[in-house]
């Protein structure tokens, strides 16, 4: 316990003193995660809203698929992206393997189903409230989806947070397509995995606490923003 | 059960003939042998009614007799199992639906401000620019909600929400307004305010079709009455005629507060 606290103190000290390596790792973690979550929201929110709000053949199947994809194994995604980006893969000429972009792609694939499935549920519930009024006003499919996404925006912030939680804690896929290269693709989770494999459990634990703290700060910031925005909007 | 002449079109009801003679207002909406089945049961059974322009038609009957269902069929929210709804003599289509609006028993408020609720309805109905702004202002004044324009609609009182719902529906300039028990959960003051909105709309030429349990309300704002029992029209006529001297046993029992179980229904 003593060595853990000492390692934790050491990690906090590194942050406070502005250790370049650690800050670089934290910065890359946030860049990769936030970019992936943003991309997943751009893709997943409309998909979830369409499946949740509109009636079309195969809608139930689409819902089942979205829910199933929430449990997509990261190593499978990592392998797929690896094969696609490797020299012999269809996207090989882009030279993206072992770059942060590859990690963003893998995380986006992992997070998008989560965003889409949770959005579908929220939009579906809201649509149940609105359905007759929308039908009476003859609201078209596009306006319907846009209106539901807008009216559910504060609930959807929680969806984005769920996606962030998944992405920031992910290690399997990013280590496969990123390679955990020092100063290039090393992020918090891959560093933790590396330190654990080296037997530096205290350092790994301390980094884990730092990761949790970052997640806590991001969650707190979003929830505070959500509460403030809702209060201002509904004042 | 009483076999009424109003279940089939051929023996025209007296009030209909009288109305036709008096002014012959245009028939806006009519149903032909309208039926609706669900769960293996017939919930609306061969209904033939005419809704004439400028009239205020009250739909009455006990709980579960099909009042709300009939309004939804008339408004095109659900499709009949059999029969049809005609708008100005032609099958109800998008153009006909565009000339209609509906207010529900529980007002559906978007998670937006009062004015944004109005703006959304007007925008999807194709109003834009200065006309939309003018209609928003008029609707706020009509509902007496000018001071609450930027307030979240869902935090308004039940009465305020229903006034907003009526004003929102009227802001789209419908020719006919359906109201499904709009004052069922309101206090007398709020009920009065909603009824005043309905009167004003009628004075502006809007045809009213209102489902209600409230006999007093039917007397206050109704012209014609359609009484339903077990999904069928069992009696129609002028409001005062039906309420003062009901001819059907179902209407008589309902007005007397008796449970009426009809073996044929």
pLDDT at position B246 is 94
- Total domains present in chain B: 1
Asked if residue B36 is part of any domain, the answer here is yes
On the question of pLDDT at A230 being above 80, the answer is no
Q: Confirm whether B34 is domain-assigned.
A: yes
Cα angle vertex A184, ends A179, A188, to 5°? Answer: 75
Q: What band does B14 get if pLDDT is binned at 50, 70 and 90?
A: very low
Confidence of residue A235 (pLDDT cuts 50, 70, 90): low
- Confidence check: pLDDT of A38 > 70: yes
In this prediction, residue A20 has a pLDDT band, given cuts at 50, 70 and 90, of confident
* pTM recorded for the entire structure: 0.85
Residue B170 lies in a domain: no
Picking from B102, B120, B150, the nearest residue to A136 by CB comes out as B102
Query: The domain that contains A152 carries what CATH number?
Result: 1.10.3720.10
CA atoms of A126 and A123, how far apart (whole Å): 5
pLDDT-derived band at B257 (thresholds 50, 70, 90) equals: confident
Q: Is residue B243 part of a domain?
A: yes
- Alpha-carbon gap, residue B147 to B242, rounded angstroms: 42
Summarised one tens digit per residue, pLDDT across range B155-189 is 999 999 999 999 999 999 999 999 999 999 899 99
Rounded to a whole number, what is the distance in Å from the CA of B35 to chain A's nearest CA?
21
Range of the domain at B218: 14-110+176-255
pLDDT for residue A22 is more than 50: yes
User: Could you identify the residue written with the tokens 């609006």?
Assistant: B101
> What are A177's two structure tokens?
């397509």
Read off the pLDDT of each residue in B53-75 and give the average, rounded to a whole number.
96
Half-sphere exposure of A28 (CA within 13 A, CB side): 24
The edge-to-edge listing of strands for the beta sheet with B224-229 is B100-103, B176-180, B207-211, B56-60, B224-229, B232-238
Whole-angstrom distance, CA of residue B20 vs CA of residue B187: 37
Give the residue from B121, B48, B114, B118 showing the smallest Cα distance to B80: B48
Chain A residues with CB inside 8 Å of B152's CB? 233-235
**DSSP per-residue codes, A100-141:** HHHHHHHHHHHHHHHHHHHHHHHHHHHHHHHHHHHHHHT--H
Query: What mean pLDDT do residues A204-208 have?
Result: 83
pLDDT-above-70 percentage for chain B: 89
Of B98, B104, B150, the CB nearest to A138: B98
Question: Which chain B residues have any C-beta within 8 angstroms of a chain A C-beta?
Answer: 75, 77, 94, 97-98, 100-102, 104, 108, 110-113, 120-121, 123-125, 150-152, 155, 172
SS3 of B226-263: the string is EEEECCEEEEEEEHHHHHHCCCCHHHHHHHCCCCCCCC
B69: in domain:
yes
Residue B23, domain CATH: 3.40.50.300
Residues A39, A44: Cα–Cα separation, whole Å: 8
Helix (H) or strand (E) holding B33: strand B27-38
The model's confidence at residue B24, banded by pLDDT at 50, 70 and 90, is low
Mutate to test the interface with A, among B103, B111, B173 (most CBs of A within 10 A): B111
Q: Give the domain extent around A145.
A: 2-233
Query: What is the pLDDT averaged over residues A171-194?
Result: 93
Tell me the per-residue pLDDT of A109-150, one tens digit each, with 9 for 90 and over: 999 999 999 999 999 999 999 999 999 999 999 999 999 999
Does residue B264 form part of some domain? no
Measure in Å the smallest separation between the Cα of B173 and chain A Cα atoms. Answer: 12
- Work out the minimum CA distance from B31 to partner chain A, whole angstroms: 19
CB within 8 Å: B124 and A234:
no
Domain membership flag for residue B41: yes
**Cβ-proximal residues to A59 (8 Å cutoff; 6+ apart), any chain:** A51
On whether residue B96 sits in a domain, the answer given is: yes
Average pLDDT over chain A reads: 92
Considering only CB atoms, A132 lies closest to which of B108, B111, B151, namely B108
Residue B37's pLDDT band (cuts 50, 70, 90) = very high
d(CA B7, CA B233): 6
Q: What domain count does chain A have?
A: 1
Interchain proximity B77–A132, CB inside 8 Å? yes
pLDDT tens-digit map of B141-152: 999 999 999 999
Q: Which residues of B touch A231 (CB under 8 A)?
A: none
In the structure, what pLDDT confidence band is assigned to residue A207 with cuts at 50, 70 and 90? confident
- For residue A21, the model assigns a pLDDT of 84
Q: Which of A3-12, B45-54, B145-154 has the lowest mean pLDDT?
A: A3-12
Say which residues have a Cβ less than 8 Å from residue A169's Cβ, sequence separation at least 6: A189, A211, A215
pLDDT at residue number A1: 61
């Amino acid at each position: 316990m003593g060595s853990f606290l000492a390692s934790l103190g050491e990690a906090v000290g590194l942050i406070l003193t502005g250790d370049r390596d650690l800050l670089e790792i934290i910065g890359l973690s946030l860049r990769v995660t936030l970019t992936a979550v943003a991309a997943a929201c751009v893709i997943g929110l409309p998909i979830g809203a369409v499946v949740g709000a509109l009636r079309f053949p195969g809608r139930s199947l689409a819902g089942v698929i979205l829910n199933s994809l929430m449990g997509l194994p990261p190593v499978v995604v990592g392998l797929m992206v690896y094969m696609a980006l490797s020299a012999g893969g269809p996207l090989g000429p882009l030279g993206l393997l072992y770059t942060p972009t590859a990690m963003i792609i893998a995380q986006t694939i992992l997070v998008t189903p989560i965003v889409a499935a949770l959005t579908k549920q929220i939009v579906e519930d809201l649509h149940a409230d609105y359905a007759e009024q929308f039908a009476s006003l003859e609201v078209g499919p596009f306006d319907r989806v846009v209106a539901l996404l807008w009216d559910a925006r504060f609930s959807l912030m929680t969806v984005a947070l769920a996606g962030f939680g998944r992405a920031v804690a992910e290690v399997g896929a990013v280590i496969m397509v990123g390679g955990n290269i020092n100063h290039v693709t090393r992020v918090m989770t891959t560093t933790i995995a590396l330190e654990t494999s080296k037997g530096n459990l205290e350092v790994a634990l301390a980094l884990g606490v730092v990761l949790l703290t970052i997640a806590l700060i991001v969650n707190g910031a979003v929830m505070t923003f959500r509460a403030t925005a809702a209060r201002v909007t509904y004042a | 059960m009483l076999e009424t002449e109003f279940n089939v079109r051929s023996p025209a009801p007296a009030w209909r003939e009288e109305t036709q003679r008096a002014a012959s207002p245009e028939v806006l909406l009519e149903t032909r042998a309208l039926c609706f089945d669900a769960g293996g049961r017939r919930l609306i059974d061969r209904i033939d009614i005419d809704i004439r322009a400028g009239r205020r038609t009250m739909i009455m009957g006990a709980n579960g007799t099909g009042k709300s269902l009939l309004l939804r069929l008339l408004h095109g929210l659900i499709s009949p199992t059999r029969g049809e709804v005609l708008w100005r003599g032609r099958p109800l289509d998008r153009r006909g639906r565009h000339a209609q609006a509906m207010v529900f028993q529980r007002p559906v408020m978007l998670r937006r401000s009062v004015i944004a609720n109005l703006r959304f309805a007007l925008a999807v109905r194709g109003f834009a620019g200065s006309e939309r702004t003018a209609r928003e202002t008029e609707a706020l004044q009509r509902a007496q909600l000018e001071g609450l324009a930027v307030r979240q609609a869902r935090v308004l009182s039940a009465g305020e929400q229903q006034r907003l719902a009526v004003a929102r529906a009227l802001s789209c300039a419908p020719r006919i307004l359906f109201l499904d028990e709009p004052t069922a959960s309101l206090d007398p003051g709020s009920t009065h305010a909603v009824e005043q909105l309905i009167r004003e709309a009628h004075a502006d030429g809007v045809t009213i079709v209102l489902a209600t349990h409230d006999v007093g309300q039917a007397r206050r704002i109704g012209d014609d009455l359609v009484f339903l029992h077990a999904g069928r029209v069992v009696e129609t006529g002028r409001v005062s005629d039906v309420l003062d001297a009901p001819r059907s046993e179902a209407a008589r029992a309902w007005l007397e507060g008796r449970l009426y179980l009809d073996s044929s229904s």
